[in-house]
Chains A and B, each alone.
Chain A
Amino acid sequence: MKNRIIFHIDVNSAYLSWEAAYRLQHGESVDLRTIPSVVGGDEKKRHGIVLAKSIPAKEYGIVTGESLYSARQKCPNLTIVPPNYERYLKASNSMIDLLNEYSPLIQRFSIDEVFMDCSHLEDNFLQVAYEIKERIREELGFTVNIGISTNKLLAKMASDFKKPDKVHTLFPGEIEEKMWPLPVGKLFMIGVKTQRKLNDRGIYTIGQLAKLDREYICSWLKKPGLLIWEYANGIENSRVRNTPYPVKSIGNSTTTAYDVDNKKEAYMFLLAIAEMVAMRARNLDLIGKVVSVSLRDQSFFSYSHQKKLNIATNSTKIIYETSKKLFDEMWNGKPIRRFNISLSELSSNEFCQLSLLEDYDEREEKLNKAIDQIRYKYGYNSIIRSCFLHSGIKPIIGGVMEDEYPMMSSII
């Protein structure tokens, strides 16, 4: 097979860069990228974490995901701006439009990361990479890193090297020099826990992991071990997918603005999330057999419970009733800060095996359909359940905005 050329394009501090570019366009005199600043969630709603940081903020040791409170302690004159997802989607779409001029094979890996198959460019690829980078900076007002290699994994590792506004290559011949000296935690798919496991056995760099015996890692960490061993050796050959992966599960969650300590309110949160999960399933024409609920209590301890249904469903009512039952079975009475419902074992709802022992209500299906149509046409809050009136709880919860928003994935 001819060698492929894959680009991985990664927006530098995406949310922050987009916010900065937008604000400059609207006449603001300070560029957020040049001062210690972060994009952070609403602290009153307890979403107060750092979503993106500027490079000056990084120098204070601020990391993505930490609380705004601790970020402010590290840097007292930190500028904090709220996120605006609609703006970011627009910025991301404009980048995709620009990239489409160069290759039809584009995989949107998340809102700010894109894989692009540029094999057709042959020897010209470096020049084109610089051209793309410059055009994004000039026309769209933000900077990107471009990683180039022969597969998606290496391209992704390359774009992470030195930031911002850089083009890097990481071809198989360069692995030893450029990737192996890096700490093992930098490798894609290795999180804190795996890193600890590897460190315990004296593996600190990607190179050390790569040189391990294949059989050894396979017997120690099983299949995931083999995967990271292959990654460490630069082995990965999935294609750039320009169609989305089939959906395996549909789930939504919410962190509540206050700790929920009673059943009545907990049920309402479950209902609000069930509305979203069921509506999304119906929109994709899918039904699911397994409903699972997970809770996080005030001391950040998470636990979950799931149930397999006799008949696969996408009805709001059944998902809600099941969630309620699961909740009753597992809740230990401790105040809760986070609710999550997900529906899995999905299949198409074209045909469905009914059960003699359970009711099937066709009228309900029609009702759900009618409600969905009203909501898609006039907005999610155009028709709501009366129990949410004056309750202060949003009647449909989940997701960052109404449009589909590309989320991160662990599958390259």
Chain B
Amino acid sequence: MKVLMKPIEMIAWFTKDKKPIPLRYRIIDENNTYKVIKVDRVLFAEEEKLAGNRMIVYRCESKINNLRRIYELKYEIDSCSWFLYKF
């Protein structure tokens, strides 16, 4: 996996007690068009607070172009923003 740290638009599910769960996001690809990706499975979610900045790292699995891919998303709590972290 390569580090990308690309900002993405996200639809997530905020539950009562667990960490927010990413469901579906869209990203602008190299042809400058939106591409929607559904998160099929979250393998694990882990909170980190490097330099005191809280972020949740998700390892996820999706079907992209008919291939199962594993990648990582990051959610920054203070700024409420989502990133495609590693792909």
Contacts and interface: CB of A to CB of B under 8 A. Distances in A.
Interface stretch (A50-58, A68-76, A84-92, A323-331): A84-92
A26 B5 contact: yes
A29 B55 CA distance: 18
A145 to B, nearest CB: 18
Interface in B49-87: 49-53, 55, 78, 83, 85
A95 B52 CA distance: 7
A123 interface: no
A81 interface: no
A25 B50 contact: yes
B50 A24 contact: yes
Contacts of B83: 27
Contact of A22 (B3, B5, B50): B50
A29 B5 CA distance: 11
B51 A142 contact: yes
Nearest to A90: B52
In this complex, the interface size class of chain A, counting residues with CB under 8 Å from chain B, is 20 to 34
Interface string A20-48: 01101111010000000000000000000
Interface residues of B, number: 13
A27 B85 contact: yes
Contact of A27 (B4, B48, B51, B78): B4
Contact of A21 (B3, B51, B78, B85): B51
A185 interface: no
Given A27-B83, A27-B85, A91 B5 contact: no
Given A25-B55, A26-B5, A140 B85 contact: no
A18 B5 contact: no
Contact of A94 (B4, B49, B85): B49
Contact of B50 (A29, A92, A140): A140
B51 A22 contact: yes
Contact of A18 (B3, B4, B51): B51
Given A25-B48, A27-B83, A27-B85, A90 B53 contact: yes
B79 to A, nearest CB: 11
A25 B77 CA distance: 13
Given A25-B55, A27-B83, A140 B49 contact: yes
Nearest to A93: B52
A85 to B, nearest CB: 13
A50 to B, nearest CB: 20
A335 interface: no
Contacts of A29: 3
B52 A25 contact: no
Nearest to B85: A27
A83 interface: no
B85 A87 contact: no
A399 interface: no
A139 interface: yes
10 contacts: A17-B51, A22-B51, A25-B50, A25-B53, A27-B4, A90-B53, A94-B52, A139-B48, A140-B49, A141-B50
Given A90-B51, A90-B78, 4 more contacts: A91-B52, A140-B49, A141-B50, A141-B51
